[in-house]
Amino acid sequence: MGCVALLVLALPYARHAYQLEMGGRALEQARLFAEENPKAPNPHLNQALQSLHRAVETGPEDGYAYRRLGQAYLLLGDNARAAEALSRATTLRPDHPLIWVELGYAYDGLGQTDRAIVAYERGRYGPALEAAIVNYIKVADWKTAAGGGDEALHILQDKVLVLDPDNLPALLRTMRIYEGMSEQAAQQFAEPLRQRLRAMSPDEVAVPTEPRLVEYTRQAMADLVAEGIWSE
């Protein structure tokens, strides 16, 4: 009777472990398929989602199961469902930095910049460093356009340039904000930045991998040429 009771108690856990394992295997197959066939329908993703949904149903307190479900939805491109699953995962495992980073990806995909930044910061950036920088620059641009130059400077100097001291888009934006403040600010702060940018070589500029940061950097280079700081 004792053995039977143990089996009955262990059965839900066994079901959960099985579904989580099957879902994880299918997700890894889906990732490999997506790398090799980025534009083709992914035959493994539906199986991953089915198994992982069963895993969270049988283990509603397992943050890892919700994380894997969120990862599957990220791969699918469904950022709303990814955010829902990963948000639950961070509630269950709040000290796991990579879950916060993945939640940041989901918010980023939804265009929820403020939430993405919070998640990236909670995740200590990790592999999302360039994505976080993109969102910081985006917010700095909004603040600048709304007349919040001081707030934009805080973001550029205390966030972006702390993470990446030679970030070309941030340096150029910082110089422009100081130039627009006053004659004193232009001489005291903008001119040293102008000289620093003039002394930089294009070969010194790190090549980003994040497509949006690539575009920010390309535009900054074009602006430096247009303003006569760099030569053609």
Domain of residue 59, CATH code:
1.25.40.10
CA distances to 21, 48, 74, 133, 208 from 79, in Å: 23, 16, 6, 20, 23
Residue ranges making up the domain that contains 49:
1-124
Whether residues 231 and 158 share a domain: the answer is yes
Nearest to 73 by CA among 49, 40, 96, 90: 49
Q: How far apart (Å, rounded) are the C-alpha atoms in residues 231 and 223?
A: 11
Whether residues 110 and 142 share a domain: the answer is no
Amino acid at 113: T
Where among 94, 124, 154 does a domain terminate? 124
Contact criterion met (CB below 8 Å) for 97 and 123: yes
Name residues of the chain where pLDDT drops below 50: 6-8
pTM reported for the whole predicted model = 0.90
Whether residues 18 and 98 share a domain: the answer is yes
Give the pLDDT confidence score for residue 1 in this predicted structure: 65
Whether residues 134 and 104 share a domain: the answer is no
Query: Angle of helix 97-109 relative to helix 129-145, nearest 10 degrees?
Result: 50
Whether residues 140 and 172 share a domain: the answer is yes
Give the pLDDT confidence score for residue 7 in this predicted structure: 43
Q: How many CA atoms lie within 13 A of 130 on its CB side?
A: 14
Whether residues 155 and 227 share a domain: the answer is yes
What domain count does the chain have? Answer: 2
